């Protein structure tokens, strides 16, 4: 087989593999609708779920879930796990401070995510006993089998503050990677971190 024919075969296989990958992404990928996870995920991005991750919630992962009483798929970030205590404290100076006490004991931390700081402008408090918005901030314990979730674009996200605690059993999977657009980073990124909180308790 001469070099030209070998190059043609390699090119043909490459094109075929690209077509198969494109079909797989279209068939298996989930298209992001809306801007509630911007800038982490944008309208039109296609994401793939990590195999075997249904029914799991790990802190700060981005997951696909179905909210209680709602059949549509949501893409949100896990914040609080069963037994954690969570709150959202808002002031005109700092409109979106997410507080977390891991396992309901020990120090209270502030959950820090640059994407929140850059976008949060509306004030609001959380949480009521069901995990929804409240008139005043309050540390609430995440029930067994549940989790607290938020969008990365807090002013434009319908999340636990609207729907209440998420049901771990309704998690369809962890977002493993971004498959489209191909020019974007594969890793979802923008993972929050915990830092010491010295402010007043809610």
- The tokens for 162 are 């609207």
Write the CA distances from 147 to 12, 83, 142, 160, 179, integer angstroms. 48, 9, 6, 9, 27
157 is catalytic: no
| Beta-carbon contacts of residue 101 (< 8 Å; ≥ 6 apart) | 84, 85, 86, 107, 108, 109, 139
36 is catalytic: yes
Instruction: Please pick, among 76, 90, 134, 157, the residue that the annotation labels catalytic.
Output: 76
Distance CA 147, CA 122 (A): 23
Question: What's CA 97's distance to the chain center, in Å?
Answer: 17
Active site residues: 36, 76
């Amino acid at each position: 087989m001469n070099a030209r024919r070998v190059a043609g075969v390699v090119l043909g296989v490459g094109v075929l593999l690209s077509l198969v990958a494109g079909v797989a992404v279209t068939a298996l990928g989930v298209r992001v609708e809306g801007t509630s996870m911007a800038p982490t995920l944008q309208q039109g991005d296609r994401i793939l779920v990590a195999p075997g991750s249904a029914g799991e919630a790990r802190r700060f992962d981005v997951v696909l879930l179905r909210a209680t009483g709602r059949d549509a798929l949501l893409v949100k970030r896990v914040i609080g796990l069963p037994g954690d205590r969570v709150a959202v404290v808002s002031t005109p100076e700092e409109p979106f401070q997410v507080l977390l006490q891991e396992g309901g004991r020990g120090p209270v931390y502030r959950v820090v995510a640059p994407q929140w700081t850059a976008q949060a402008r509306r004030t609001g408090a959380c949480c009521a006993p069901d995990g929804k918005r409240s008139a005043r901030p309050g540390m609430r314990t995440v029930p067994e089998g549940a989790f607290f979730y938020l969008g990365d674009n807090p002013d434009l996200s319908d999340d636990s503050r609207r729907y209440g605690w998420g049901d771990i059993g309704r998690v369809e999977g962890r977002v493993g990677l971004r498959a489209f657009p191909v020019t974007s980073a594969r890793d979802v990124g923008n993972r929050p971190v915990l830092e010491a909180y010295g402010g007043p308790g809610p």
